Amino acid sequence: MCFRVAMFSLHTSPIAQLGRTRDAGGMNVYIRELSRELGRGGMYVDIFTRRSRPDTPDIQQLSERVRLITVTAGPIEPLPPSALHSYVAEFTCRVARFAERNAHPYNLVHSHYWLSAAAAAPLARAWDTPHVTMFHTVERLKGQQQGLPLESASAPKDGPTAIRIESEGRIATSADCVIVSTEVEGEQLRRLYGLAPSHTRVIPCGVDLDAFTPISPARRDQARRALGLGATPTLLFVGRLDPIKGIDLLLESVAALRTPARLLVVGGDPAGDPEVERLRARAAELGIAERVRFPGAVPQRDLPTYYHAVDAVVVSSRYESFGLVAVEALACGAPVVASAAGGLPSIVRDGENGLLVRWRCPRAFAEQIDWLLSDDTLRERLRANARPSIEQFDWRRIGDRVRDLYQELTTESARIVACSCF
């Protein structure tokens, strides 16, 4: 029997260019690569996403068993997640019609982000299938990581945030299982919503260990030449240009360095992106404009060149449910300096494969970066330990764990149905 999964990514397409907007990042990689891995394992996956461009095909074949289904819900234009809740019901109806027309019964529903879960939950009930969800970010946890008191995060002043918080609580308790990327996140959700331990499952994001792999010192020199870096010590930021990523903090840290290092900010659109212009202006205010480059977002296939070429990758996020950039960098053998926020301490082990900064201030980051750049022995030790430390994130292993969860939930669901017949 064919096992069919309905995957939901309402607010962002898994094939969107990473880092170009605030809505395309690690979650997109997770959905795309997980679906391909499930397909390689024999499952059929339909990924449903909202249409934001009129020229997007209705159905795109991503691999032999994986399709991307684009559904019209609301205006056909890019919209921020905060503006999409009113179109969730329309999205649900359109997906239901697609499933009816194509006569494809799904064995399981897997949603990503709260908007997708809100759209998927009624369909899971209608199709009598288990519903697995993964939040990727939780509004109340994000507020706590940014220093807001829990009461403030629980009672926001703006309507969209209040709707999100209420929806996330309802989804967490009603879904059959909530996948979390780290045990810390699982503990936080269980405490926040009173979930039983069996209601969550720790399955992190994966990494393509064939694409992200260490190279020799000679090839690292080639990568530096390819990016025009020369001999100047170089730091790298990769990600969405979102305030939660702490890029302002990183710029202030670079300005405080004793080592006159260069910074590459890979993300955003350097041609007219207001956030790029704001960050350029901030770099100029700090007197480091000539040391900061904005190449913009690059395709994921080009990221290894950047990881190979630089002296350190800095993840200065105020909140990270996981930390895919840190995993990719470590897979390439790049030293990582990261904030001790969210899931990052589960990836970066201080002094072993990278350095953790526990104080959210420029001086603390600058001290750790200076130490790394000035100590060749430390840097080489971190490089040597980087790759072995993330072998467990191989996509094949992650895919196996997700398939095991699917089978467990569908078997349990079938058992309950059978028992209810007596």
Per-residue pLDDT tens over the stretch 27-69: 888 999 999 999 999 999 999 999 999 999 999 999 999 999 9
How large is the average pLDDT for residues 18-28? 67
How do the residues of the chain divide into helix, strand and coil, expressed in percent and rounded to 5? 50, 15, 35
**Cα 18 from chain centroid (whole Å):** 10
285-317: pLDDT as tens digits: 999 999 999 999 898 899 999 999 999 999 999
Band of the pLDDT at 156, cuts 50, 70, 90?
low
Answer whether residue 357 shows pLDDT above 90.
yes
Band of the pLDDT at 159, cuts 50, 70, 90?
confident
Cβ neighbors of 197 (< 8 A, separation 6 or more) are 186, 190
**Cα 180 from chain centroid (whole Å):** 12
How far apart CA 124 and CA 105 sit, in angstroms, is 11
Between the alpha carbon of residue 241 and those of residues 115, 277, 281, 394, the distances in Å are: 22, 11, 14, 27
Answer whether residue 422 shows pLDDT above 50.
no
Band of the pLDDT at 155, cuts 50, 70, 90?
low
How far apart CA 216 and CA 2 sit, in angstroms, is 44
- Average pLDDT value over all residues in the chain: 91
DSSP codes of every residue in 25-85 = SHHHHHHHHHHHHHHHTT-EEEEEEE--STT--SEEEEETTEEEEEE--S-SS---GGG-G
Q: Are 188 and 141 in contact (CB under 8 A)?
A: yes
Q: Are 354 and 326 in contact (CB under 8 A)?
A: yes
Q: Are 204 and 181 in contact (CB under 8 A)?
A: yes
Tokens for 217, please give them: 């010192």
Strand order across the 4-8 sheet = 59-63, 66-71, 44-50, 4-8, 108-112, 131-134, 177-180, 200-202
Q: Are 353 and 168 in contact (CB under 8 A)?
A: no
Report pLDDT for 417. 45
Tokens for 109, please give them: 């529903």
**Cα 261 from chain centroid (whole Å):** 28
Residue type, 94: R
Domains of the chain as residue ranges with CATH: 4-206+394-420 (3.40.50.2000), 217-392 (3.40.50.2000)
Q: Which residue has the tokens 């349990």?
A: 412
Report pLDDT for 419. 45
Answer whether residue 388 shows pLDDT above 50.
yes
399-415: pLDDT as tens digits: 999 999 999 999 876 54
Q: Are 94 and 67 in contact (CB under 8 A)?
A: no
How far apart CA 89 and CA 323 sit, in angstroms, is 32
**Cα 337 from chain centroid (whole Å):** 18
Cβ neighbors of 304 (< 8 A, separation 6 or more) are 211, 212, 213, 328, 332
Report pLDDT for 52. 94
Q: Are 109 and 130 in contact (CB under 8 A)?
A: yes
Tokens for 98, please give them: 């697609």
Answer whether residue 16 shows pLDDT above 70.
yes
Give the number of residues written for the chain: 422
pLDDT above 90 covers what percent of the chain?
Answer: 80
How large is the average pLDDT for residues 348-377? 95
How far apart CA 71 and CA 357 sit, in angstroms, is 43
Answer whether residue 392 shows pLDDT above 60.
yes
- Tell me the H-state helices in 183-273: 183-193, 217-226, 247-256
Band of the pLDDT at 149, cuts 50, 70, 90?
low
Residue type, 60: Q
Strands (E), 188-315: 200-202, 234-238, 262-266, 292-293, 312-315
pLDDT above 70 covers what percent of the chain?
Answer: 92
- Of 84-98, 144-158, 229-243, 370-384, least confident by mean pLDDT is 144-158
